[in-house]
Structure formats: C-alpha cells, structure tokens
Structure 1
C-alpha cells in the first residue's frame, strides 16, 4: 500500500460525514486527496483535491496539507505545503487555497505564488534544509490576525503572522480552482 501522510480532519461533519484530507504517495506522485467516513474507521469516496502543478511551479514535486482548514465566510481556508525539486534537494514552501464549505473537494481559489518560504538562517539550515512546513493555524478575532506555526528546516518552530482580512482578499483575487 502507498505511503499516506499529512492527514487532517475538517473540524465539523459535512453532510453527516467526517472529511479527511490526506496525501497518499505512489509511483504516480503525491497529491492531496479527500476521503469521507461516518464512523472515523472506514473511509470511502476518495477525491483528488489539490494536485501537483506540472512544470516549473513551486509546488510541482508534491503537495500536502498543513494545519486543519479554517472555516471562513468564503470557504475553508487551507494552508498547504508544496515542494519543488532543485539540484540542492527539495525546497518546501507554503501556499493557500480556498475550498467550498459544503463540497470541500471543490477548490474555489488557489494561490499561484507561495506565501511563505525559507529565507532566514533557521529555515535554510538544519536537519532538513530549505523547509518551511505549516503545522498550526490560529485566528485571533479581536486583532483580525492569523498566526501560522510552522516547522523550520525540521529543527525549529517558527511563527508567521498576517492580517486575516488581507489573506482572504489576496486569496479571493487568485485564480479559480
């Protein structure tokens, strides 16, 4: 059976089912899929959600989920990681997507550009160099801020902040699906 990792659940049921995002890896690649379950034991109906983009894209080698998606008035806000293979190894960056609230396999928007990438010394040097890996996302309503906790070079934990409204405005201006 294929390697399967980067699994996260939506925080509520959709149509009576739990929704799991995961990344099975096979000879065909590593993309984000969605599966559904009524009991959290048996999973069915796998659907491709976020695929690798072909060519010189920043997420052309593999993609995987970061933290559990955040429910917004416009859809599920997803922070995911993408990898591009370089001569120096894999380069891990973070991007954004917006999924339909009731049909989360439907990608409404997806950033063409990465929004967080390795640059600081602690992100470039470590156990696995050139890695930022999104892990936790918190929305602080009073300040309208997003707090993104991320792994840096598989050695440290970093914190990136951004305005919630600014992130949604940016994402809503991105191309469909």
Structure 2
C-alpha cells in the first residue's frame, strides 16, 4: 500500500532523483506522557503511525530519517474495513479511559458518488499505546444529513476534537468542509461495543 502511494506521488512529480516527498498529515499528541515519553500519531498514506520520544530535541533529522526508513515498524492502524479502504487518519487527541486510550479517527472509501469520509473508533492499550486492543468494524457515524453530504467537499464527517461530560462524549467534526457540528455518544456504550470487537492482532 505504501509503495502504491509512493508511485502516485511520483506520477504527479513529487518524487525525482533529488526529492522523496511523503504526505504527512493528521498529527495529534496524547494529552500526557506515557511511561515517560511523549506519544504522537501521524498519517503517511494510507495508515496511522505512532511516534514516541522523551523530549522535543529528540526530533532531529536523523530521528525522522530512521522513522521513515523503518515506517512499517511504527504502523498503528492500517485500512482494514470496507468503509475505510482508501485511507485513514487521526482525529482529535486520544481520550484516556479505564479501558484504554480511545481514538476517534476518520476512514475514507471510494464509492459511486465519490469519496466518503466516516468517523471511526479504536482502543489502544493504556500502558503500551502502540498496541491496538479493539476496533469498530463499522463507522461510528457517517454523512447522513444534507449539510454533511453537500458542501465544499461532499460526503464528509471529519472528527477533530472531543469533550467528555459525565458519560456523554461530544465529538466535534467538520461537515462537508463547510460546517462545524457535534455528535453525542454514550462513552460507556461505545467502550462496551469496542470490547466486543477485540482486534486479535489485526491493525
């Protein structure tokens, strides 16, 4: 998959004898250090990768060169289900729960109406966030309202942040790249549903 996207960039002139450019997006930081390290998610098409480091000064050119050369070792999630078959990317900062780190991300699939962006959810180990515990095999929510289906970019729900009030998890998202919206879900029900979908080593 990663070689496929590398070739796509080559076709549009972003790769030549002097340049090896990768499209890196959707960077989010965990809200606290884990085992003494900062933890960060980012997206080099088509999956989500994880980065862990002790201090910001560690992020040198050599650090990133090694990270890119060994990128497959840092893949946290790759597209797995039909609704996210094209590519995925992190949303807001992970949410710490007793069950693990909850991440809300977006998944993209190509359909007869063009690309559709869905919201999705996964659960990471609390002490080892590089380990995926569970992952919903279906979207958390998808474009359904007219203002989610029609806009600057059609058929988009793009989660970017969240807030937890009691058991109510509010997920803030961009709708069709034109509006800002919020969806509410029960945190306990979401975690319960995730625990029904343990990954068994799949990412």
**TM-score relative to the length of structure 2:** 0.79
**Equivalent residue for 2:50?**
34
Say which SS state the counterpart of residue 148 (structure 2) adopts: helix
* Structure number with larger C-alpha Rg: 2
Deviations, residues 26-68 of structure 1 (Å, cap 9, x unaligned): xxxx110001122224345651101012xx7101000000111
Name the stretch that deviates more: 1-10 or 41-50.
41-50
Q: Distance in 2 between matches of 1:61 and 1:168?
A: 26
Q: Which runs of 5+ in 2 are unaligned?
A: 1-20
Q: CA RMSD in A?
A: 1.4
**Equivalent residue for 1:89?**
114
Q: Distance in 1 between matches of 2:58 and 2:109?
A: 33
Match of 2:191 among 160, 168, 175: 168
Number of residue pairs the alignment of both structures matches:
169
**Equivalent residue for 1:104?**
129
Structure 2 CA distance for partners of 1:164 and 1:87, relative to 1, 3 Å = same
**Equivalent residue for 1:57?**
82
Say which SS state the counterpart of residue 122 (structure 1) adopts: helix
| Higher helix content, 1 or 2 | 2
The answer to whether 1:24 aligns with 2:24 is no
The answer to whether 1:150 aligns with 2:177 is no
Q: Which runs of 5+ in 1 are unaligned?
A: none
